[in-house]
């Protein structure tokens, strides 16, 4: 499990210089979290949900079982891309904006 605070901000734009082996380990783990189509769809459902937050009950229609959904959400959380909070019966997921922004900035070739 990555520590979100330690991960952000990791990396300058990829054109600015080559990644250290340590930064490559950290960033590749984040890309890995988005490397599965179902996981990427779950992530996009959370990110595009009203208020930037979604209940697991809102996003589970991705054609896989509930335990598989939970497994994928845990992977996204472990990679630092989502945070979660239990409120009553449901767990709510939110995008971790600074982590996702770090990934976007790393791939930003305009700089």
Q: How many other CB atoms are found less than 10 A from the CB of residue 100? A: 18
- For a copy of itself, the closer of residues 91 and 101 by Cβ is 101
Smallest gap from residue 53 Cβ to a copy of itself (A): 12
Site of tokens 């054109």: 15
Under the rule (CB under 8 A), what is the footprint of a copy of itself? 14-19, 21, 24-25, 27-29, 31-32, 34-41, 43-45, 47-48, 52, 63, 95, 97, 100-101, 103-110
- For a copy of itself, the closer of residues 3 and 18 by Cβ is 18
Judge contact between 58 and 93, C-beta under 8 A.
no
- For a copy of itself, the closer of residues 39 and 77 by Cβ is 39
Smallest gap from residue 6 Cβ to a copy of itself (A): 16
Collect all residues with Cβ–Cβ distance below 8 Å to 76 and sequence separation of at least 6. Answer: 33, 39, 42, 43, 82, 93
- Strand extents, DSSP E, the chain: 53-55, 82-87, 90-95
Smallest gap from residue 107 Cβ to a copy of itself (A): 4
């Amino acid at each position: 499990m990555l520590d979100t605070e330690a991960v952000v901000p990791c990396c300058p734009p990829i054109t600015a210089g080559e990644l250290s082996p340590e930064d490559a380990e950290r960033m590749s783990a984040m890309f890995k979290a988005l490397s599965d189509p179902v996981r990427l769809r779950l992530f996009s459902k959370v990110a595009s949900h009203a208020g930037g937050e979604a209940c697991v009950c809102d996003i589970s229609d991705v054609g896989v079982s509930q335990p598989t959904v939970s497994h994928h959400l845990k992977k996204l959380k472990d990679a630092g891309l989502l945070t979660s909070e239990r409120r009553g019966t449901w767990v709510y997921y939110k995008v971790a904006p600074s982590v996702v922004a770090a990934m976007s900035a790393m791939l930003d070739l305009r700089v």
